Amino acid sequence: MLREGYDDKKCLEELTEEELGRVLPERLVKRIKSRIKEEKENQEAKKPTDQRKLTTGELKTETGNLQPATILEIDPHRSDRIIFSGKEVKVTPLAFSLISLLAQNRGKVLTYDYLLGTIWKENEDATYVQVTFHLSKIRRFILKAIGNNKRNIEFDEISS
């Protein structure tokens, strides 16, 4: 590949699969392009933001206008808490990482393997039980913070 002038990673990123296919086997081209795409997605997900806000639903203002309602606020500089429906919820760093990962992938289906490989990558013995345990624990933290009223308990039962 050096003969053709492809001497660094940036060159590989700029080339199309067809151009790479002229000098490499197709399966290797696919692996290279897949890895480059994966690295870019990981870099995008790790980019710091001042604060992430997820909005769902709308609230009526005093004038009767509808405006988006902020449900979840995540501040990467405060991994000890999140703001859920305007209430501060104390969380563990692991719970914060899980919530943040789920928020970054809003609307996507994430497999247990993906969650385990991202959050528990150093622990080879991690299982899906850990994921469900921590999700349940996060729900309890949130319910405790926002109140165990009938509406919140019913919502939690529906979402479980």
Domain ranges of the chain: 9-46, 52-159
Torsion of CA 10, 14, 18, 19, to 10 degrees: -70
pLDDT tens digits, 78-124: 888 888 878 888 988 889 999 989 888 888 898 988 998 888 888 87
List phi, psi (to 5°) of 158. -65, -40
Q: What is the mean pLDDT of the chain?
A: 77
Percent of the chain with pLDDT over 90: 2
Cα radius of gyration rounded to whole Å, the chain: 21
Laid out side by side, the sheet with 81-84 consists of: 52-60, 66-74, 81-84, 87-90
Looking at domain 52-159, which CATH architecture does it have? Answer: Orthogonal Bundle (1.10)
Question: Do residues 82 and 73 lie in contact, with contact meaning Cβ atoms separated by under 8 Å?
Answer: yes
Which pTM value belongs to this model?
0.53
